[in-house]
Amino acid sequence: MNKIFLLFIAFFILSISSLDAAVYKGQKIFVKKCVKCHDEGQAFIAKKKIRQWNKIMKQKGKPLADLHLRSSKAENSWNYFESKKYYRDSKHLKQFLVEYAKDSGNVPACN
């Protein structure tokens, strides 16, 4: 029983590539941090092309942070965009956003 379980876990870990893992992480961050204001979700991400997301997420997502810090309507996000956590998250977030950009051809699974 235990052995089979371990084998299963090992197989599971091997079967998700590191890229998928980063995208998944990015999705989790998006759901937790962004959806409360950008509740169009997938449609919101598909509004931009890969190149545009890359641009907005360059320098560890600084342009995205600045855009929110300049807007008083986004006040509830300031804590996050000013935090170190955001700069750690931004790499995963970028991968997620680019993965589901308008011209990526990908649609996220409904889970």
- Sole binder of ligand HEC in the list 20, 40, 66, 76 (CB under 6 A): 76
CA–CA separation, 31 vs 38, rounded Å?
A: 9
The answer to whether 58 and 64 have CB atoms below 8 angstroms apart is: no
Q: Is 34 in the site for ligand HEC (CB under 6 A)?
A: yes
Stretch that binds ligand HEC, among 5-13, 15-23, 34-42, 103-111 (CB under 6 A): 34-42
Which tokens belong to 53?
Answer: 């997301």
Does residue 95 bind ligand HEC (CB under 6 A)?
no
| Smaller CB separation from ligand HEC, 23 or 34 | 34
Region of 105 please: left (phi>0), alpha (psi -120 to 50) or beta: left
* Residue 78 token pair: 């300031």
Q: Which residues bind ligand HEC (CB under 6 A)?
A: 33-34, 36-38, 56, 64, 67-68, 71, 73-74, 76-77, 93
